[in-house]
Amino acid sequence: MRKKIVAGNWKMNKTFDEAQALVSEVVNMVQDEVNNQAEVVLCPPFPFLSSVGKALGGNSKIHLGAQNCHQKESGAYTGEVSAAMLKSVGVEYVILGHSERRQYFNEDNQLLEAKVKAALQAGLIPIFCIGESLEQREQDLTFEVIETQLKEGLFHVTNEEFARVVIAYEPIWAIGTGKTATSQQAQEVHAFIREQIARHYDAAAAANTTILYGGSANPGNARELFSQPDIDGGLIGGASLKSRDFTDIVKSF
């Protein structure tokens, strides 16, 4: 059985005190209210990883994730953070290939291939993001774009490594726009991703991979999205900054 996951991507938001307040609210709410088996992942900005990790206090339902890592193990890369550094402060997951990083930091599939390798080597679980722009969807290129992103950025890993990877389908036109993909649109792409996994690896790998949806998910639409057969949870941006909304999404299975 594949895992259900709801991951919160805090992006470049919150000060230290605000981050502490948010994590303690989420810990309390999840502790008191969440009975399902969904795994929760919090992805705060780098400077808050240690303190957020401490606040989780070994809580078995909530895990720590980062929003990026560098592809090299160590060295003269001023301002960068390696996968091993993340691992050493208790990080378990790392978001890679988010569309904002592809767009604003020129991350392409070749670079992401190296980042995925670095993350896996350090023992982190990559949450590998893929998704099409509105223009690409309108030109009927969605499946082609998804296939290329998977092939070039992810499918170089071995079967064994692939078993540790989580995929997030995030249509760019739905991220932070308030425009959610319909559950039908999301399901269609998730099913396609699973087909690609089966083709490249095997049916067992396809069946066991957790595939998250991301893009303006909120407490009002999460239940419908998560009820789709190939949607195993969500990568949540805006709504993860509010403890009530985020917890309600975690409860939406």
Residues with a catalytic annotation lie at 98, 170
Q: Least distance from C-beta 167 to ligand PEP, angstroms?
A: 13
- Euclidean distance between CA atoms 172 and 188, whole angstroms: 16
Q: 14 labelled as ligand-binding?
A: no
Cβ atoms 99, 139 nearer than 8 A? no
Contacting ligand PEP (CB under 6 A), which of 62, 118, 217, 222?
A: 217
On whether the CB atoms of residues 194 and 211 are closer than 8 A, the answer is yes
Closer residue to ligand PEP (CB): 201 or 233: 233
Amino acid at 22: L
Q: Which is nearer to ligand PEP, 123 or 176 (CB)?
A: 176
Q: Which residues contact 197 (CB under 8 A, 6 or more apart)?
A: 150, 162, 205, 206, 209
**What character string, x for contact with ligand PEP (CB under 6 A) and - otherwise, covers 6-25?**
---x----------------
Q: Does 230 bind ligand PEP (CB under 6 A)?
A: no
Q: Shortest gap between Cβ of 224 and ligand PEP (angstroms)?
A: 15
237 binds ligand PEP (CB under 6 A): yes
**Can you tell me the distance from the alpha carbon of 139 to that of 143, in angstroms, rounded to the nearest whole number?**
11
Q: Is 218 helix (H, G, I), strand (E, B) or coil?
A: coil
Residue 237 among known ligand-binding residues: yes
Q: Which stretch binds ligand PEP (CB under 6 A): 44-52, 73-81, 115-123, 169-177?
A: 169-177
Least Cβ distance, residue 168 to ligand PEP (angstroms): 7
Using rule CB under 6 A, residue 215 touches ligand PEP:
yes
Task: Identify residue 149 by its one-letter amino acid code.
Answer: Q
Which structure tokens are listed for 83? 């996968």
| 227 within 8 A of 240, measured Cβ to Cβ | no
Q: Is 238 annotated as a binding residue?
A: yes
Query: Near ligand PEP by CB under 6 A, which window of 38-46, 156-164, 199-207, 229-237?
Result: 229-237
Comparing C-alpha atoms, which of 156, 163, 154, 83 is closest to residue 123?
83
Q: Is 3 part of any known ligand binding site?
A: no
111: helix, strand or coil: helix
Piece in contact with ligand PEP (CB under 6 A), picked from 25-33, 52-60, 137-145, 214-222: 214-222
Are the C-beta atoms of 153 and 114 separated by less than 8 Å? no
Interface with ligand PEP (CB under 6 A), residue from 52, 62, 96, 236: 236
Q: Which two tokens stand for residue 152?
A: 């070039």
Q: Does 221 bind ligand PEP (CB under 6 A)?
A: no
The tokens for 174 are 């739905």
Task: Tell whether 216 is in a known binding site.
Answer: yes
Residue 10 is labelled as binding a ligand: yes
User: Which 3 state secondary structure label does DSSP give 179?
Assistant: coil
66 binds ligand PEP (CB under 6 A): no
Binding residues for ligand PEP, per CB under 6 A?
9, 170, 175-176, 214-217, 235-239
